Structure 1
Amino acid sequence: MLTKADDFPIHQTPEPVAYAGTDRNFYDRYFFNGYSPDGATYFAVAFGVYPHLNVADAHFAVIRDGIEHCLHASKILYSERLDLTVGPITIEVVEPLQVLKVKVNGEGLEAEITFTGRAFPIEEPRFIRRMGPRAFMDYTRLTQNVRCEGWIAVDGDRRDLPAGSVGTRDRSWGVRPVGAPDPQPPVPLDPALMGFFWQWTPLNFERESVFFHVNADPQGTPWNTRAVVLPDGAAQGEGHVTEAARMTAVELAPGTRHAKGGVLELPLPEGVARIRFEPILTFLMRGIGYSGAWRHGAYKGELVVEREAIDLAAADMAAPENVHIQALSKVTMARPDGAEQTGTGIFEQLIAGPYKPYGLG
């Protein structure tokens, strides 16, 4: 099957671009978030293509006055992977790896936002996790902190993004569980693989970015982790990289799996820096398709669009659909010489199943 993408030099296999190997869980996704310096404005976007499910979906969400306003859209892909529009949501690659634009216009939610990279994107270590002989995850992700310009309207109330708005965008592709759950899990089930622990902290400081992530097993042993310190304007391969960073001093909010804060210990050439997190806002990731009825890759029909409103004050933060969050946080970095700088960033958290270091069964 030939598609528009076949006229571009982007093939990765001997087959037409419509075919992405043989794993039904192959996906290709965009993610964006953005926030004002004071944390009063927060929004996020997800856009996914699932070639072997023949589905594409897109999600946009913005928090206003304690309500997470969400717009979901899903369509049949018809194998056209370069058609970056799903209903009212469009992604435009203005300058690859540097400038992208998101446009939204549907169900009372509108936006036009341009994301400009602060430095060349980082390529995170390849994520490979097996459950016995079966690949549970196998994907690559690039991540880039960005400056955000544009506007968002909710039911006609249009507001420009405040000066100094920043955020993070990523692109990942490979294999993850998508669409309908697998009816036959791998056997025998290994208790050591029955949990999933994830923390991700892209941080925006005045002249540099800090990135940290960790995937760990239920015993707390990391299987993928790294931290990067990247000055503005850095080129590919530049910046300080370490696999020895770790999140400490984590205390969970009672009855939840959400951290009230933490301290990232970040080894630098001159010593260990410590970054203190103070969460100021909670964003539920189900608002952009991470779990729930609008789970990524779910088949909805030819084209289905739906708006959703989540009252964050009334949401049960202990409910399974609300375990995965991004906590917008004020961050303070204390360098080894005693100098301090402040910034804003995300403390993304997902703890599913047991995790011994936090006493979760």
Structure 2
Amino acid sequence: MTLSKGDEYPIHQTPEPVAYSGTDRNFYDRYFFNGYGPDGEDFFALAFGVYPHLDVADAHFCVIRDETQHCIHASRALGMERMDMEAGPIRIEVIEPLQSLRLIVEEQDGISADITFVGRAFPIEEPRFIHRIGPRAFMDYTRMTQNGSYSGWIEVDGERRELVDGVLGTRDRSWGVRPVGARDPQPMPGAPDMPQFFWQWTPINLPGGSLFFHINADQQGAAWNTRAAWAPNGASADGITEGGGTLAAELVKGSRWPEKGTITLDVPGAPQQLTLSPVKRFQMRGLGYTHPEWGHGLFHGQSRVAREDIDLATTDPLALENVHVQIVSKVETDTGESGVGVFEQLIMGPYDPLGLSGFLDAAS
């Protein structure tokens, strides 16, 4: 049987049941959320992914308290039912599409949460990400991104903290094709000897609205996907403006983590320049990204849940699973506004503008 709950809704994109998403085994459908206090502290994040052709769903929840990143990882067999948005103790409820969602973590190993997200403006649609390595599509997906406010609470080991006014953050939805599940063992003729990937993403909350900038670039620094956008508070889809921008970054010595950055923009209504200063580092492996055990789409049996605590003070910056980070940052603009945002970065392989020549050599 291939019929599922989704077939009751007018959302089909092909003549087949919703359980099938084309023919690419790497198709995925993902939710992502992060949040932080007005001072950049008490960072938390949640991710949930569905992999229809791997028949797996997984979810992750993390919260930083002091210098420890507390994580819950969960995975289950999907059973070809894409409308059940939960894995282990973690689930997502859509309250109002494109505007409000609820995130629930039932108590698991001392961690629980009940959080509601409300968007500040209509989501932006980022340009379609299509990237090939030789003849093979490495990525082909779409993402929408939205800044918003949070309410609710998070509890860790008996200490519950309320999300008071001023807790902001970002959520996104992406779907399409990217590497998921077990690695393909088949080598590809003509593939580069050293893989290369460069990514920066900076969703920022300012008093008057939301600023978004991202870039994927090749080894020489030429962008193959980039966009800057400004969404004033309460903006509808036609109130969002778009344009271009650049991000000049410096790296923490001995690592590939960003130390600070300056964004220069040409976007109607947005500041022309913003400086980002770090407050807190979040390891994206806590949400499964490059995690050696809990990577996206890996099969862990019918159901599995585990807690992981990451000591941020002793994290090896050049271990592959630790290169991908989000840096919660205070933001100052050329117009005198102050805000908070996230500076996400992943650099693997050489990147000439920052003087990186090996696969995981460090900034000097």
TM-score, normalised to structure 2, is: 0.95
Question: Structure 1 pair 233/161, CA: closer, same or farther in 2 (3 Å)?
Answer: same
Within a 5 Å distance, the mapping from 1:297-312 to structure 2 comes to: 297-312=297-312
CA contact (8 A) 1:194 1:218 kept: no
Partner of 1:24: 25
Q: Which moved more, 1:314-323 or 1:8-17?
A: 314-323
Measured in 2, the distance between the counterparts of 1:75 and 1:85 equals: 9
**Distance (whole Å) between structure 1 residues aligned to residue 349 and residue 81 of structure 2:** 37
Q: Which amino acid aligns with 2:120?
A: R
Q: Secondary structure at the match of 1:261?
A: strand
1:240 maps onto 2:236 in alignment: no
| Structure 2 partner of 1:161 | 163
Structure 1 position 185, deviation (Å) = 3.5
User: For residue 356 of structure 1, what is the aligned residue in structure 2?
Assistant: 352
Where does residue 290 of structure 2 map in the other structure? 291
Question: Is the CA contact (8 Å cut-off) linking 2:118 and 2:149 kept in structure 1?
Answer: yes
Q: CA–CA distance in 2 between the matches of 1:309 and 1:194?
A: 30
Distance 1:63 1:150 in 2: 16
How far 1:291 sits from its partner (Å)? 1.2
Gaps of 5+ in 2: 358-364
Partner amino acid, structure 1, of 2:299 = Y
CA–CA distance in 1 between the matches of 2:267 and 2:223? Answer: 20
Q: In structure 1, what is the equivalent of residue 360 of structure 2? A: none
Shift of 1:65: 1.4
Answer whether contact 2:211 2:270 (CA < 8 A) is retained.
no
Instruction: State the partner residue of 1:317.
Output: 317
| Alignment length (residue pairs) | 354
1:251 aligned residue: 250
Gaps of 5+ in 1: none
Deviation at 1:348, TM superposition (A): 0.2
1:147-296 mapped onto 2 (5 Å cutoff)? 147-190=149-192, 194-242=195-243, 244-248=244-248, 250-269=249-268, 273-292=272-291, 293-296=293-296
**Contact 1:97 1:120 survives alignment (8 Å):** yes
Overall identity of the aligned pairs, in %: 58
Is this contact kept in 2: 1:129–1:137, CA < 8 A?
yes
The residue number in structure 2 matching 1:78 is: 79
2:322 & 2:305 partners in 1: Cα distance?
22
Whether the 8 Å CA contact 1:212–1:228 is kept in 2: the answer is yes
Q: CA deviation at 1:133?
A: 1.3
Q: Distance in 1 between matches of 2:83 and 2:96?
A: 15
RMSD over aligned Cα atoms = 1.3
Instruction: Give the whole-Å Cα distance in 2 for the aligned partners of 1:258 and 1:182.
Output: 28
Q: Distance in 1 between matches of 2:318 and 2:196?
A: 17
TM superposition score normalised by structure 1: 0.96
